[in-house]
Amino acid sequence: MSDYVLGTHDAELARLGLQHELWRPAAQAAWRRAGLGPGQRVLELGAGPGLAALELARAVGPEGRVLGLELSAAYVAAGQALAEREGLGQLELRRHDLLADPLPAEGFDLIWCRWVAMFLPELDGVLDQLAPALRPGGRVVFHEYLHWDTFGLHPHGTAIRRFGQAAQRSFRDAGGDPNVNRHLPSLLAQRGFQINELRPLPVLGQAGSMAAQWMESFVVVYGPQLQRLGLWSAADAAQATAEIAQAQRDAGSYWVGPTLLELRATK
C-alpha cells in the first residue's frame, strides 16, 4: 500500500481539518466511554496529520504516551511538527505500513482507529496483531462506516447520489470496503475480543452547517479524482455544483452522511 485513494495534497489536508472539527466531539465521547484518562498509553492506527493524536495526547497528559502510526511521510512530519509546537512530548508520530510492518507490542491501554480499516485490502494481518499490542483488559475503538449508501443531498441530489456511488466504487477498486464495519465486530469476536458496544453515529446538516460544509468539500476535493478514474464526468460535476447551489437556496434541503458505527471492544 503505497499511496492514499484520497491523496495527501493541500486541498485534502484542509478537508481533513474540517472533518476533524466536525467529528472531534464524537471521537472524544468515544474515548471517554472507553475509559481514556491521564497516564494511559494509546496507539492510533492511521494517524494522518496527527489531528486526533493531538487530542489524545492532551487527554493522557505528560505522564501518558500516544503513538500514531501513519503511512504518509508528509503527514508524519506535519503531525510531529504540530506536537513539538504544542509542547506535547508524550506524542510520537511514526511512519508505518499497516500491511507490512508489525504493530509495536507495548501494552497499550487503548487502540484507536478511524476511517482506516475501510481502505485496507487485507484486514487479518492487522486484526491478528491487536491483542498482542494491548495490555490485558485493553480496549479498541473503531469509527468506521457501516452504510455508505446513506450519503446524499435531499431533495436535490441526483448527481450527488451518483458521486456517492462513484466514491464507493473507487474505494472497492482500490481493494477497500466502504462498509467495513459490517464485518469488524464479528472478526474481533472471533479473535477473543468482548464486544462492549455498537453505536451508530449518523450525521445530518442543512446548508451552511459544518456537516454540510464537510460533505460539500468532499464532493469538491474528490470529484476531480473520480473524473480521472473515469467514474464520474465533467457533466456530473457541473450538475452537482448546480444542486449544491440550489440546496443553499432551499431552507428545507439537507445533507446526510454515510452512517458511521462506533465499535468498542475489550481484550
Residue 17 pLDDT grade (very low, low, confident, very high; cuts 50, 70, 90)? confident
- Return the pLDDT at 1: 41
Domain for residue 2, yes or no? no
For 185-210, what is the mean pLDDT? 97
For 251-262, what is the mean pLDDT? 97
Residue 84 pLDDT grade (very low, low, confident, very high; cuts 50, 70, 90)? very high
Domain for residue 4, yes or no? no
Domain for residue 184, yes or no? yes
Domain for residue 252, yes or no? yes
Task: Please say if the pLDDT value at position 137 is more than 90.
Answer: yes
Q: Is the dihedral of CA 6, 12, 18, 20 positive or negative?
A: positive
For 215-227, what is the mean pLDDT? 94
Task: Please say if the pLDDT value at position 232 is more than 50.
Answer: yes
- Return the pLDDT at 2: 42
Task: Please say if the pLDDT value at position 245 is more than 80.
Answer: yes
**Which residues have a Cβ under 8 Å from the Cβ of 24 and sit 6 or more positions away?**
52, 55
- Where in the sequence is the domain holding 107, given as residue range(s)? 10-266
pTM (predicted TM-score) = 0.93
Domain for residue 230, yes or no? yes
Domain for residue 5, yes or no? no
- Return the pLDDT at 11: 66
Q: What percent of the chain has pLDDT over 70?
A: 96
Residue 7 pLDDT grade (very low, low, confident, very high; cuts 50, 70, 90)? very low
Residues 261/145, Cβ–Cβ less than 8 Å = yes
**Which residues have a Cβ under 8 Å from the Cβ of 81 and sit 6 or more positions away?**
none
For 100-109, what is the mean pLDDT? 97
Q: What percent of the chain has pLDDT over 90?
A: 90
CA dihedral 111, 88, 24, 122 (to 10 degrees): -30
Q: What is the CATH number of the domain that holds 221?
A: 3.40.50.150
Q: What are phi and psi of 169, to 5 degrees?
A: -60, -40
Length of the chain: 267
Domain for residue 164, yes or no? yes
Domain for residue 3, yes or no? no
Domain count, the chain: 1
Question: Can you tell me the distance from the alpha carbon of 116 to that of 142, in angstroms, rounded to the nearest whole number?
Answer: 9
- Return the pLDDT at 15: 77
Q: Mean pLDDT, the chain, as a whole number?
A: 94
Q: Where are the alpha helices (DSSP H) in the chain?
A: 10-33, 51-60, 73-85, 124-128, 130-133, 158-173, 184-190, 210-228, 234-249
Question: Can you tell me the distance from the alpha carbon of 76 to that of 12, in angstroms, rounded to the nearest whole number?
Answer: 15
